[in-house]
A and B are shown apart, each in its own frame.
Chain A
Amino acid sequence: MPSTINRRNWFKQASFATMGLGLSLPSFANDTQGLPTKKINSNKGLVNLSSNENPYGMCPKSKQPLLK
């Protein structure tokens, strides 16, 4: 469990950390970048906010030709 964040310390550390810009390239790692290290057993009840998907689905008109 994470502890309560100390704001002052957070900003101090954050600005210090920017000095390290460009040294590591985490964003170029791979498709599991930043995802939880633990596997999900089921999507049931899961709020999936991981992959920039559209939660509203494709348009109803797109579904029609598929069912003809």
Chain B
Amino acid sequence: MMPFANRYSFNVDGLKDCQATIARYYGVEKENILLTAGSSIVLDFCARFFYKTGGNIVAADPTFFVLPATAKKLGLIVNAVPIDSNRKIDLSAMLSTINNDTQLVYLVNPNNPTGTLLKPDAMKSFCAEASKKSAVLIDEAYLDFLDAPDNESMIPLAAGNPNILVTRTFSKIHGMAGMRMGFVISHPDRIKQLEQALFNESQVAISNLTLAAALASLQDEEHRAYCKQKNATSRDYAFKSLKEMKFDPIPSVTNFILFPIGNDYEGNFADFMLTKNIYLRSATYFGQKCCRVSVGTLDEMQQFIKVMKETWKA
């Protein structure tokens, strides 16, 4: 694609219709989709787009930080709904938290940092109910790690309802985090509004390199299946090993695991692990000091578990 570095994508054979190609891959039309450099920018942008003085957003606690953090920064009230005792997003509590001033409901499924899933039927009912009262954004960054029927997307609902938006990213299963590719799908009326507020020709906002890589990646189901299977093997190993060490990791359907390390842990766990060459996150969620570890290769997870065993000698 480098020979076409001097051309806009709409002047390059194989790329000129890629917005429509990507839309059709997900069963929608070109008018339903806005391409973006990764999906975090849509999350940040939607907090701005739906901003209203005195307004609020509803989001689970904990959840992915970008949208709530921007909302908070802008002065929106963030109505944080604690996850339930199974560490899942509490849909009925989310619904009852929506009020007349709610501008946006943000729901990450599967959720980050918990790695838990809400089933498609529950999600569909939630979207139908919540969208009567507010705009609803479903962040499906990690949905590709699941198999049918649990991987059913809310995209078909979003395509027909301006109050439902779905974001997806190529940063996870597609392995393109550094290439920056994502999108949002909604009803054409909503997409038109977003385009007017952000950028009218969203395809042009993405580099030819990234568009070409994304198109090729969509066609390569085999590689995605490979990544999914490898991820599951590494995740199962880490989960089982943590269990054997008497930790209580939250069963994850994604490429990360969250587990409490004990509130009597003194110091900064992420800092300590860095001294052992393991780079991860630690923070307090639902009142407990936790570690969130991404699922790497099996070799990487073995290194992680080795350090854990050296640290926690039971």
Contacts and interface: CB of A to CB of B under 8 A. Distances in A.
B223 A61 contact: yes
25 contacts: A4-B313, A5-B265, A6-B264, A10-B262, A17-B287, A24-B284, A27-B283, A28-B68, A29-B69, A36-B270, A36-B273, A40-B274, A47-B303, A48-B279, A49-B280, A49-B304, A50-B279, A53-B171, A55-B296, A57-B175, A58-B176, A60-B223, A61-B220, A66-B212, A68-B2
B134 interface: no
Contacts of B99: none
Interface stretch (B29-37, B117-125, B182-190, B253-261): B253-261
The DSSP consensus for interface residues of chain A is loop
The DSSP consensus for interface residues of chain B is mixed
Contacts of A27: 61-65, 68, 113, 283, 285
A54 B209 contact: no
Contacts of A21: 82, 286-287
Contact of A55 (B3, B246, B293, B297): B297
Interface residues of B, number: 89
Given A49-B304, A55-B296, A66-B2, 13 more contacts: A14-B260, A14-B287, A40-B274, A46-B279, A52-B255, A54-B177, A58-B176, A60-B220, A61-B216, A61-B220, A62-B212, A62-B220, A65-B213
B272 interface: yes
Interface in A2-33: 2-7, 9-10, 13-14, 17-22, 24-31, 33
Nearest to B63: A27
B63 A56 contact: no
B174 interface: yes
Contacts of A25: 61, 68, 78, 80
B16 interface: no
B294 interface: yes
Nearest to B62: A27
A66 B176 CA distance: 13
B208 to A, nearest CB: 9
B281 A50 contact: yes
